[in-house]
Amino acid sequence: MVRLTGLDGAFLALESPTTHLHIMGTMVFDPAALPGGLGFRRIRSLVAERVPLVPPFRMRMVGIPFGLQHPTLMEDPEFDIDYHVRRTSLPAPGGREELAELVADLAARPLDRDRPLWEFHVVEGLADGCVGVVAKVHHAIIDGVSGAEVLAAFFDLSPDPTPRALFGGDPTGARRPLGAHPVNGADDGGGRLEAGSAWEPPSLPGEVDQWKRTLGDLPGQIDAVARTLARTVQSVRAVGARHRAEGASLAPSPFDAPQTSLNGAISSHRRVAFADLSLTDVRTVARAVGGTANDVILAVTAGGLRILLAERGEEPETSLVALVPVSVRSESEQGTLGNRVSAMLVSLATGVVDPEARLRHIRDGMRAAKEQSRAVGPEVFASWAEAAFPALATRLSRLVTNFRLFDHLAPPFNLVVSNVPGPDVPIYMAGARMVSMHPLGPIVEGIGVNVTVFSYLDTVHVGIQACWDLVPDVAVLAAGIEEAMAELVAATARRDRPVPWWHAELPA
């Protein structure tokens, strides 16, 4: 049995009928070179064979009495691979639009808490004979980086299975279960699952055992609240001292974001859109302005938002603010699951018309946000998640949803923009080559849009998940991001182009 960390448990506690906190990946495979093609049974067989490499995939959540502690993970005595690997198909013509509609429908359905929190949907009927796999895994057991490692357990570097790791991990290349424990929480006894070992269904813990563990942990929970308060006060003082000493600009604060039509109480229904960017173009633009690839992703997202809001006849009084998740996973934590993330608030400079000037503003804002994040430290958010009682977080989440509070309150930020690096070599599943992988992050109350990107080979794949009611025109944002990328490429190309002699200034 393995207890979830506070941050992992928070993703369970904060779920509500409208907020579904799972992460998704929409993968498309080309089986043209695969003898016999890529059928459902072939994928199911591979997934069943490799599930032991990801221990939480055979474990279910066990709640703690009255929500006084975060849940524990325990091997599911009724695990059924056929519940988790499912088959579906697209209507003709099986293109990107039909795929996005299917994925939106899957995104709108919460995962069953009484089973291991993941699903793979094998999608047939795609154009050009391709086959899709839509992976859906709860945020309580993975973040963006560990999610990539989870998928890597089911991938290979060639059409023939190979033991070499894809996203880091064991340098010897041996396939092994991800993590010494299924998640980063404390081991309450048992819970390890070695690949290839015989599996015997365990019995779920009794109520008396759960009460003993819960009451025994309460003093530590109260102590954690006190320590977290002290750490938070120290962090606030550190940021203030840095600002006074250096005159450094501060990143946006929560609730500094303007109210827009993208923000409000969300429904349980989703819309999805995809976009693709050239990784070469992203890197070229980043070098031209002295920024990072992530700066460019934020800039083109800002450009897409400008296009979307202009079509709606909106012009926010101040710049939109993005929440940018940041991995704080150390080298020693590579190969472990669970969440090791912090986050920064960044101004998107949506009021700046010139695309290159907008990128420079974002670049400078990201530098300020990183400095402020270092002053605060990466553990404050995780500490609060650890100290909070899940029952309290769940009730607050339901209160926000039931009273539609964000129809009346300013949002803490306007959207989430997340960047997950992927492999620069071709990868395969059951012998078929992957041609694309569009990720999707969750949306939460008050925040109607999530933009997540994943780089693979020479392409940056953009996945956008949005609230059905707040952002019915999500495809406009996807097209706007691609258009904003073209504008940035043209702007930097013009700057680097030599000035014709007839435009040159004549000597005095």
Residues taking part in catalysis: 139
Tokens of 419: 């960047």
Give the separation between CA 10 and CA 14, rounded to whole angstroms. 6
**Would you state the torsion angle of the CA atoms of residues 288, 291, 293, 294, taken in this order, to the nearest 10 degrees?**
-150
Contact predicate 27/132, CB 8 Å: yes
Buried b (16+ CB within 10 A) or exposed e, 9-18: bbbbbbbbeb
- Centre a 10 Å sphere on the Cβ of residue 251 and count the other Cβ atoms it contains: 22
Beta-carbon count within 10 A of 483 CB: 16
- What b/e readout covers 261-292, taking b as 16+ CB neighbours within 10 angstroms? ebbbbbebebbbbbbbbbbebbbbbbebbebb
Q: Per DSSP, what are the bridge partners of residue 437?
A: 27
Give SS3 for 112.
coil
- Phi, psi for residue 106 in degrees, rounded to 5: -65, -35
Q: What phi, psi does 466 have (nearest 5°)?
A: -145, 160
**Run of H or E residues at 353:** none
Question: What is the rounded CA–CA span in Å between residue 374 and residue 383?
Answer: 16
